Amino acid sequence: MTSLTRRELLKSSLAATTAAAAGLPLSQAARAQAAAAEAGWKWDKGVCRMCGTGCGIQVATAGGRVVATKGDPDAPVNRGLNCIKGYFNGKMMYGADRLTQPLMRMKDGRFDKKGPFVPVSWQVALDEMERQFRKAYAAKGPHGVAIIGSGQYTIPEGYAAAKLMKAGFRSNNIDPNARHCMASAVVGFMQVFGIDEPANVYDDIELADTFVLCGANPAEAHPVLWSRMTDRKLGHKATKIFNITTYANLSSDIADVDLVIKPNGDLAIMNYLAREIVARGAVNADFVARHCVFAAGAVDIGYGMRPTVKFALDAEKDTVAKEMAVVLDKHEAVGQRRKAGEKIEQKDRTAAGRHWLISFDEYKKGIEPYTLEFVAEVAKGDADESIDSFKAKLKQLADAYCDKSRNILTCWTMGVNQHQRGVWVNTQIYALHLLLGKHGIPGNGAFSLTGQPSACGTAREVGTFAHRLPADMVVDNPAHRARAEKLWSLPAKTLNPRVGYDHVAILRGLEDGDIGFLWVQVTNPFQSSPNINHWMRAAREMDNFIVVADIYPTISGKVADLILPAAYMLEKWGMYGNAERRTQVWRQQVEPPGEARTDVWMVLEFAKRFRLREVWGEKKIPGLKAEGFADNTLPDVLAEAGKMGYTPDMTLYEALFARPENRKYAWPDPVAKGHGNSTVKALGENWFVEKALFEEYRPFTVGHQHDLAPFDVYYADAVRGLRWPVMQVDGRWQETKWRFSEGNDPYVKKGEGFNFYGPAFKALPIGTVDAVTDPKPTPLAGKAKIFFRPYAAPVEQPDANYDLWLTTGRILEHWHTGSMTRRVPELHRAQPSAVMYMHPEDARKRGLKRNDTAWVESRRGKVQVVVDTAGRNRPPKGTVSVAFFDESILINKLVLDALDPISREPDFKKCACKVYRG
Amino acid sequence: MNLSGILVVAEPAHLAAVLAQLALLPGIEVYQHDAARGRIVVVQEATDVGTEMAGFARLRALPHVLAADLVCHYFGDAPPAAPQLESALASLATPADSPLP
């Protein structure tokens, strides 16, 4: 062995690790070589941060650096495998332009919005940040300041930021980028089950016979889950995969049936499938009678655009004007049982989530128009496919759902969520599985997949949304506020009952002057949001102050006034929650470079600068109207606070974070096993901040169907994350696989079979499919709702001028806005810049061919792209697709900022554009 | 030195053809395979991560290859360049909506 070079030794070691992951036998010599190659390395468990799958990784450090990573062979999610994004986890912090010092726009030694970036000390940075915050807070009140947070927040980060805003500054203006990806899924869960997050787990992949992908492309976006699905197909011959998509993609390659649909055609298809389930007698009548009710909701809900054209460019005005009223097209008329050409006022645009109970007969009346003929006409998306071929596919899909002998899993992501009627499609998918009685049981269920590593664990569970508090509670529910005030030891009425500004509303607020201070954490909203020309201009030209904390200079950094250098995930302690409710943790592996600091430290350090007398006095909140509150006013709670032992001069750091009960969690802690803590080090304190914050958060979850285990349990060597609710049984911490079903979920009692126990929206008026007839709330505890939702057309569609559909998405080699994955300079070779995928015939008609440069232009902006007519994505005629990772091709300049009016999630998937030679 | 251990999954019926293709690829060494399950253990060596990724994409695109999953990745020998403040400032110096360099 001594004759082997170090290179050979390392290679043998990697081969041995790979063989072990594949379940291939290993020789004694190979084991010995692996051990020799890794001498001096320290391995520790971690989590991949590059998507929402939640793959376990192992990280090796030596000499203060990360030297290697591998898929964690003991992680049940990925069983030792990683996708190509696994290359990034260990390498991403070592880019040449890593931010290591605060940078502020300056002129003549002072902050100047028009000045260039100049390196400054943390002291100078935080002083200016404090001054600017005070200015906006004094002039505009708690809702004049905002944080845009992230589904990439660690749990302690999101918790600290949300608590500072909601309990400290009494502002609900904190909203994560998860609004851009999961909000429609969340509302779907809340409306159908009364509680957020999936009932199913990844274990179902090996138990399913049929996979229906809808608006999802796991081959690119969730490669490890895709590997598990393709493995299932190889090993289980009966497996069938359906792919419902607006263009053929990498997932189509292995799918048995590819259904290329028109935008919003999914709404019609779900109703066709429901109609078939009913017509063919496939309804599980006993399950539906015992555990479900039928429901319908408001239809004329607008498109989440502004109610005015005041801020619109001239070219945008015709689309924006449709917010208040639309003329029904022939398909909407049939699907909604109305007249084509009728002009419909969008009267429910501010009460879009309104819904009520209906009878099964009313439900059947709703789905009746959705015949095979009608739906094929509405939904067929490929002009080159015959109507008969498309109809045959629809029938096959209906056969798959109605086949009682097959287990069926429906999985979806952004095609369904980033949708002007995204909540509707989410609820329709659940309706299919509930009608069949095939939800939340092994191998069967409707499974919403997630895009970011902690969209579930932090953004949703911790509640970093403008309307949420931890553990599914909401700010506009007095009982929820009271519970949060009790757990946070706050005086009554400290928390603000008015829902804050959502992500797009914060950006619009910069433009219309409502928001004067914005702090961006762990995200890149000036690249990732729709219609960004508006927000970039607002950031640079309006009187506001924008702080961006990041590890690299991003587009958002460029438009900011102050940039704070942040720590990368392996430079801090953290925990994420994935798409199957699995909470996973890691220790800090290395120190952050230069003066980079953790986001938790930034929040705590900022909190030190404000005293209770400044924030807990009377505050004006325009639009606040709530029982027990004077209109537009948050009361002074300082007197009450005094009785609780607070003094007006106490800082928010002392009152909210460094509380005596939190200081009990001492640092160093044996759980650290010698690893450092850069938050504690920079604070100069001796309490374990991340552990204390987690343990403070945990009581929100316990007994409330979200139960999390104590901090140390997750750090135990053998644990690879635990899926909540986690209960202590006979001294052991036991996770939950399937929710809502007896024998699986500890919250379901013996004899109940199923219990859809979520408490939200569980008393409703009764009505017909079209309207409420009896407003008296009828209770429906324990039941799930089977919704009818009609077809509605996209608000902006191709016309003579903008004659193509534009859709955007993610590709395998890059992630989110690419601020990390593009950072390793060589990566440009793998996918140098975003290309526009286009049908060769559409290209030819415009005098274009593969690799030509073209302009793509919408009402909102234009960019130059390289045309690809034979790439991984193969759009039908009339559609083009561009990925959004590339900061040199800001495709979101073109994207319409229409939202799902219920979830307030933008629709990145459909607007009209034109393409011409560049 | 960038080294990665990659698990290639080939259609078992075409394993020999895939092994033959792999033998022709520069930077690739096949260590072990399981004919029945189409599993092939490959180690790839490249000068940098970009080349590693391009190589990975190349494996995935080979005929009869169903999947290529990354298992482990070593990059520890060459110390990374220290972050340069000038690089960060240069990235930020261009107008807001123009590409980063």
pLDDT, tens digit, for every residue of B2-34?
899 999 999 889 999 999 999 999 999 999 999
Between CA A190 and CA A114 the distance in angstroms is: 45
- The mean pLDDT of B73-82, rounded to a whole number, is 75
Between CA A517 and CA A544 the distance in angstroms is: 6
Confidence of residue B88 (pLDDT cuts 50, 70, 90): confident
pLDDT at A491 over 60: yes
Q: How large a percentage of chain A has pLDDT more than 90?
A: 89
> B-chain residues within 8 Å CB-CB of A119?
85, 89
Q: How large a percentage of chain A has pLDDT more than 70?
A: 97
Burial A133-154 (b: 16+ CB within 10 A, else e): bebbbeebbbbbbbbbbbbbbb
Tokens coding A7: 């290179």
Closest partner residue to B75 among A68, A82, A96, by Cβ? A68
**B 31-50 → A contacts, CB under 8 A:** 31-32, 34, 39, 41-43, 45, 48-50
Task: For residue B75, give the chain A residue with the closest CA.
Answer: A67
Closest partner residue to B99 among A65, A553, A888, by Cβ? A888
pLDDT at A825 over 50: no
Confidence of residue B95 (pLDDT cuts 50, 70, 90): low
Q: Which of A261, A250, A185, A244 is nearest to A219 (CA)?
A: A250
pLDDT at A321 over 60: yes
Contact A96 B75 (CB under 8 A): no
Contacting residues for A306 by C-beta, under 8 A, at least 6 apart: A312, A320, A323, A508
CB A352 within 8 A of CB A792: no
Closest partner residue to B7 among A21, A553, A824, by Cβ? A21
Name the least confident of A22-26, A177-181, A465-469, A789-793: A22-26
B85 in contact with chain A, both atoms CB, cutoff 8 A: yes
Tokens coding A273: 């499938």
CA atoms within a 13 Å half-sphere pointing along the CA-CB vector of A384:
12
pLDDT of residue A610: 98
Contact A11 B97 (CB under 8 A): no
Please identify which of the residues A51, A129, A165, A182 carries the catalytic annotation.
A182
pLDDT at A110 over 80: yes
> Is A797 a catalytic site residue?
no
Q: Residues for chain B: how many in total? A: 101
Global pTM reads 0.96
> B-chain residues within 8 Å CB-CB of A541?
none
- The mean pLDDT of A787-806, rounded to a whole number, is 98
Confidence of residue B100 (pLDDT cuts 50, 70, 90): very low
- Own/partner pairs, A671-674, CB within 8 angstroms, 24+ separation: A671/A711, A671/A712, A671/A715, A672/A587, A673/A587
CB atoms within 10 A of CB B14: 17
Closest partner residue to B1 among A7, A539, A830, by Cβ? A7
pLDDT, tens digit, for every residue of A496-528?
999 999 999 999 999 999 999 999 999 999 999
- The mean pLDDT of B72-97, rounded to a whole number, is 76
- What separation, in Å, do the N-terminal and C-terminal C-alpha atoms of chain A show? 60
B74 in contact with chain A, both atoms CB, cutoff 8 A: yes
Q: How far is B25 from chain A (nearest CA, A)?
A: 17
Q: How far is A581 from chain B (nearest CA, A)?
A: 24
Amino acid at A73: P
Q: Which of the two residues, B55 and A734, has the higher pLDDT score? A: A734
Task: For residue B86, give the chain A residue with the closest CA.
Answer: A97
B88 in contact with chain A, both atoms CB, cutoff 8 A: yes
List the strands of the sheet with A582-586, edge to edge: A574-577, A582-586, A722-723
Strands A545-550 and A517-521: parallel
Average pLDDT of every residue of chain A: 95
pLDDT of residue B53: 83
Best A11, A41, A74, A117 member to test B by mutation, with max B CBs in 10 Å, is A11
Tokens coding A772: 């409420």
> A-chain residues within 8 Å CB-CB of B95?
558
Confidence of residue A817 (pLDDT cuts 50, 70, 90): low
Contact B100 A888 (CB under 8 A): yes
* Residue B91 DSSP label: H
> Is A411 a catalytic site residue?
no
pLDDT, tens digit, for every residue of A713-764?
999 999 999 999 999 999 999 999 999 999 999 999 999 999 999 999 999 9
pLDDT of residue A166: 98
- The mean pLDDT of A296-301, rounded to a whole number, is 98
Chain A to chain B, count of Cβ pairs less than 8 Å apart? 195
Confidence of residue A13 (pLDDT cuts 50, 70, 90): very high
The β-bridge partners of A380 are A261
Q: Please state the separation of Cα A151 from the chain's center in Å.
A: 6
pLDDT of residue A28: 86
> Is A877 a catalytic site residue?
no
pLDDT of residue B83: 73
Contact B94 A558 (CB under 8 A): yes
pLDDT at B84 over 90: no
- The mean pLDDT of A809-834, rounded to a whole number, is 57
Please identify which of the residues A58, A452, A527, A584 carries the catalytic annotation.
A452
Sketch out chain B's domains with CATH numbers. 2-76 (3.30.70.920)
pLDDT at A832 over 60: no
Contact B45 A117 (CB under 8 A): no
Please identify which of the residues A50, A92, A106, A181 carries the catalytic annotation.
A181
B78 in contact with chain A, both atoms CB, cutoff 8 A: no
pLDDT of residue B101: 31
Tokens coding A178: 């998860």
Name the least confident of A315-324, A452-461, A891-900, B86-95: B86-95
pLDDT of residue A624: 97
> Is A181 a catalytic site residue?
yes
How large is the ipTM?
Answer: 0.92
pLDDT of residue A824: 53
pLDDT of residue A136: 98
> Is A452 a catalytic site residue?
yes
Between CA A186 and CA A455 the distance in angstroms is: 10
